[in-house]
Amino acid sequence: MNAKPTIAILGGTGDLGSGLAKCWLAAGYKVVIGSRSADKAKSFAKELGGEASGDDNAGAAKAADIVVLAVPFANHEASLREVRDVVQGKIVVDAAVPLVPPKVSVVQLPPEGSAAQIAQRLLGEGVRVVSAFHNVGATKLHQGGRADCDVLVFGDDKASRDIVIELASKVASAGIDGGVLANSAAAEALTSVLIGINRRYKVPGAGIRITGLPAAGQ
Amino acid sequence: MNAKPTIAILGGTGDLGSGLAKCWLAAGYKVVIGSRSADKAKSFAKELGGEASGDDNAGAAKAADIVVLAVPFANHEASLREVRDVVQGKIVVDAAVPLVPPKVSVVQLPPEGSAAQIAQRLLGEGVRVVSAFHNVGATKLHQGGRADCDVLVFGDDKASRDIVIELASKVASAGIDGGVLANSAAAEALTSVLIGINRRYKVPGAGIRITGLPAAGQ
């Protein structure tokens, strides 16, 4: 990919998805909003303006180089099945967090280890699954800024991680290479911890920053 | 406890354990170094000086108000069994991280969910297990300073969490209330991620900081 990749965001009308869309549009990427309803996606893309378009989830995934999954965990598996055929050979960025209502502030990881590993198993080895954006509060993104936190990026393919680390740098303070996909459990679990911290410390969007890195990585 | 509690550190001659000991001694706490060998513990305590003493693990646990477990995961269960009887009614602070050599930079959580939950099950409900200090690099502690990171503190009893948050503030930038004990999985998993970050970014001690908190909590 020499030119900037086109990014589909499934769940792109949601809180996180639309926040990511705003950041990447502002950074000059083409964004295709995906939703279960093509009409809803199209009218939302019109609101966003710029290089945004909209389609149903499968259509959006088909049109893009990189497909970001920003759907609630309850729709995670269904969304993966819906796009499995059209994402072969592509990078799928899974931002799903395995929250189990009502106790969303209690860590309850799935038996498979993480949502990301569920995605990789469902999509098969022809898809490079990268996991990221679990701990990004959307508030700042909607205000037109980057989130004041680091984004841990996981995946079994280093080159794909690097592409997503670049995307993360448009959304938050920095993308940080978190290693293999199995490590996604750490960031997914951390989301429940941060939800609890938001409540206990009465803040809108706690995040994490990795300390001890060289200044350029901060 | 009106006076400062006496703290036993099992695995107190190890890298993390001895680093914690130095910080708490400097902050005016009485510290009992625990080791499998009472002689080794006693001679190490003499080196530390100040209010340090040493004993075998069970003796150290018996003498203290708060018992910190800083042993390698391979000795975790054996150490818990060794002190089970003498820690009833006390706070046990578990710093064990379920690393599975040789792939210590890959998250491999135990089937029970976390090392902390294993500890609570083994010690029984008469012990208030709190989990903390998983992500603290010991290098800074040995240099006489506090680590440049936050310490996530987990436990099912809020008052016990608050006591350990106070202890964490002597060792690192701040202790942060991470919620129930099950949430320890997040910090335990994060340790493998940070070990990998140390390697990839060539740094000695990556840690985490919680962003988005009021300034006083930072």
Q: What per-residue confidence (pLDDT) applies to B144?
A: 85
Q: Tokens 């700042």, residue?
A: A140
- C-beta of residue A110 within 8 angstroms of C-beta of residue A118: yes
For chain A, the structural domain boundaries read 7-201
pLDDT in tens, B176-197: 999 999 999 999 999 999 999 9
Q: What is the pTM of this model?
A: 0.95
Q: Which of A201, A207, A211 sits opposite B149 (nearest CB)?
A: A211
- C-alpha angle A16-B217-B139 in degrees, rounded to nearest 5: 100
- C-beta of residue B164 within 8 angstroms of C-beta of residue B152: no
Length of chain B: 218
Chain B: residue whose CA lies nearest to A193: B178
- What is the C-alpha R_g of chain A? 16
> B117 to chain A: which residues are within 8 Å by CB?
none
Q: What per-residue confidence (pLDDT) applies to B216?
A: 52
Q: What is the spatial order of strands in the sheet that A147-155 belongs to?
A: A52-56, A31-35, A7-10, A66-69, A91-94, A128-131, A147-155, A172-179
Q: How far apart are CA A19 and CA A11, in angstroms?
A: 11
pLDDT in tens, B141-174: 998 889 999 999 999 999 999 999 999 999 999 9
> B149 to chain A: which residues are within 8 Å by CB?
211-212
pLDDT in tens, B114-147: 999 999 999 999 999 999 999 998 888 998 889 9
- C-beta of residue B130 within 8 angstroms of C-beta of residue B92: yes
Q: Alpha helix locations (H) across A33-157?
A: 38-48, 57-63, 76-83, 115-123, 138-142
Fold of B7-201: Rossmann fold (3.40.50)
- Residue B120 near chain A (CB below 8 Å): no
Between chain A and chain B, how many beta carbons pairs sit less than 8 Å apart?
Answer: 137
> A205 to chain B: which residues are within 8 Å by CB?
212
* Tokens representing residue B107 in the block: 């998250």
Q: Which of B113, B179, B189 sits opposite A186 (nearest CB)?
A: B189
Q: What ipTM was reported for this prediction?
A: 0.94
What are the DSSP E strand ranges found in chain B? 7-10, 31-35, 52-56, 66-69, 91-94, 128-131, 147-155, 172-179, 207-211
Q: Which of A108, A203, A212 sits opposite B137 (nearest CB)?
A: A212
Could you list the mean pLDDT of each consecutive 10-residue stretch along chain A, which spans 218 residues? 86 96 96 97 96 97 98 96 98 96 96 97 98 92 91 98 98 98 98 97 95 72
